Amino acid sequence: MSTPQSNPVITDIFVVGARKGWNIATSSTLPNVVMAFIIIKALEITGALKGLGILFSPLMGLFGLPGEAAAVLIGGWMSMGGGIGVAIGLFDKGIITGEHLAILAPAIYLMGSQVQYLGRILGVIGTNAKRIPLMIVISIINAFLAMLLMRIII
Amino acid sequence: MQEDKVGPGAYLALVFAAVFFSGLLGGNEWYGVFDFTTLNGTFGKVVSKVSLDGETLTTATSAFRGTGGNGAMDGFLFALGLIPAVMFALGMINVLEHYGALRAARRLLTPLLRPLLGIPGTTGLAMIGSLQSTDVGASLTRSLSDDGQLTENEKDVFAMFQFSAGAMITNFFSSGAILFTLVAIDGSTAVPTSIGACIGVMFIMKIVGANLMRLVLAITNKKVSR
């Protein structure tokens, strides 16, 4: 085992790390989350969120889902919990079934909360901005492949 | 970074890290003392609404963010709540790193992470952490990259792994699991699959996505060097 030269107290080692955490949290996490929440608000009040739902609905049929299910994925893209909320609401109205929920569940997470995670993951890591659209596209591909996979499994 | 000796203490620290950040021992039993989320705790709730329900006065409580918040103000308070977790996680990681956990992780995970994702084994702890918390995963990746332990391409591949289904375990168990409690009109369980199947599909797709990123980077790098 490696023995350090001087034996620092375990609490001191913790505090050094915690200070690193404070610096990352205040200089990266916090400003990025604030920005994400502003974007979500802007999309909501301009009605862009609703417009996206109409635009993408024909695509959903390919995955054995009704057009309304697009709202679940779009909701999920904004926030995972929101996607689940929309899914439960549609299930309650009888628009989507339990099978549809099974197909949608992994997909919601695979493309989930990305507006927020642009800041909380990519912003904190320091990903080059020109790579971000590609990462969003790959996440959406992930989600759609998962829907096909879930159709086979269930 | 020099290749230090990896003794049993380092492996013990690594096992502790894996258990500590996996959420395996979560809950308010005595063993919760070995779980990150349990020790991280939650903010208490404050009364947000009082209403008269017949003869009885009922109160509704919500988190310190309050109810109905939105925009930048809400985002700020939400982010404030993330700070203790990031501080706690990096504090613990510093301690575990001191005892050699990172060296043990690299030793064990390098042969797996290289072929699977094309990233070094040092990312093992960040990977374990990222399944439970996006902020832990991202902060650890940032410090690895700042320390020069990840190349730009490796960083992008690893970021892709984290970005699709971020904090998969925590997020799925905190909201997705609700779907499995829904019942159909005839009283049977509505969703015809298991939580485990969903987790499995998500994990496979996270690896697929990271490899799509790897493929794109390999193709574009070739074009640049031509």
User: Do residues A104 and A85 make contact, with C-beta atoms less than 8 angstroms apart?
Assistant: no
Q: Name, in order, each residue with C-beta under 8 angstroms of A114's C-beta and a sequence gap of 6 or more.
A: A77, A136, A139, B163
Structural domain range at position A116: 11-153
CA distance to partner chain A, nearest, from residue B141 (Å): 6
Residue A55 lies in a domain: yes
Residue A148 lies in a domain: yes
Residue A40 has pLDDT above 70, yes or no: no
Residue A5 lies in a domain: no
Q: What is the DSSP letter of B5?
A: -
CA distance to partner chain B, nearest, from residue A153 (Å): 8
Residue A132 lies in a domain: yes
User: Do residues A108 and A72 make contact, with C-beta atoms less than 8 angstroms apart?
Assistant: yes
Residue A6 lies in a domain: no
Give the residue extent of every domain in chain B: 2-42+77-176+193-225
What does the pLDDT average to over B79-108? 82
Q: Which of A26, A33, A78 to mutate to test the interface with B (most CBs of B within 10 A)?
A: A33
Residue A2 lies in a domain: no
Q: What pTM does this model have?
A: 0.73
The answer to whether the Cβ–Cβ distance between B192 and A146 falls below 8 Å is no
Q: Which of B80, B82, B86 to mutate to test the interface with A (most CBs of A within 10 A)?
A: B86
B31: left (phi over 0), alpha (psi -120 to 50) or beta: alpha
The answer to whether the Cβ–Cβ distance between A1 and B9 falls below 8 Å is yes
Residue A41 has pLDDT above 60, yes or no: yes
Chain A residues with CB under 8 Å of B4 CB are 2
* ipTM entry: 0.76
Strand, helix or coil for residue A79:
coil
Q: What is the pLDDT of residues B8-20, one digit of tens each?
A: 999 998 888 878 8
Q: What is the pLDDT of residues B143-194, one digit of tens each?
A: 999 999 999 999 999 999 999 999 988 788 777 877 887 777 776 778 888 8
- CA distances to A145, B83, B93, B109 from B42, rounded to whole Å, are 36, 12, 20, 32
Count A/B contacts: CB-CB distance under 8 Å.
243
Task: Among B92, B163, B216, select the one facing A121 at the smallest CB separation.
Answer: B163
Q: What is the pLDDT of residues A124-147, one digit of tens each?
A: 999 999 999 999 999 999 999 999
Please give the tally of structural domains in chain A.
Answer: 1
CA-CA-CA-CA torsion sign (A63, A65, A67, A71)? negative
User: Do residues A75 and A64 make contact, with C-beta atoms less than 8 angstroms apart?
Assistant: no
User: Residue B168 and residue A109: Cα distance in Å, rounded?
Assistant: 7
The answer to whether the Cβ–Cβ distance between B162 and A16 falls below 8 Å is no
Greatest alpha-carbon pair distance for chain A in Å reads 67
Task: Please tell me which residue of chain A has the smallest CA distance to B159.
Answer: A122
Chain B residues with CB under 8 Å of A44 CB are 70
Helices B101-117 and B83-98: crossing angle in degrees, nearest 10, is 110
- CA distances to A52, A151, B9, B176 from B179, rounded to whole Å, are 25, 17, 42, 6
The answer to whether the Cβ–Cβ distance between A101 and B172 falls below 8 Å is no
CA distance to partner chain A, nearest, from residue B198 (Å): 6
Q: What are phi and psi of A67, to 5 degrees?
A: -55, -35
Chain B residues with CB under 8 Å of A43 CB are none
User: Do residues A27 and A114 make contact, with C-beta atoms less than 8 angstroms apart?
Assistant: no
Residue A142 lies in a domain: yes
- Placement of tokens 């709730």 in the chain: B45
Residue A19 lies in a domain: yes
Structure tokens given for B98: 């001191």
The answer to whether the Cβ–Cβ distance between A153 and B95 falls below 8 Å is no
Chain A residues with CB under 8 Å of B138 CB are 120-122, 124-125
User: Residue A35 and residue A146: Cα distance in Å, rounded?
Assistant: 30
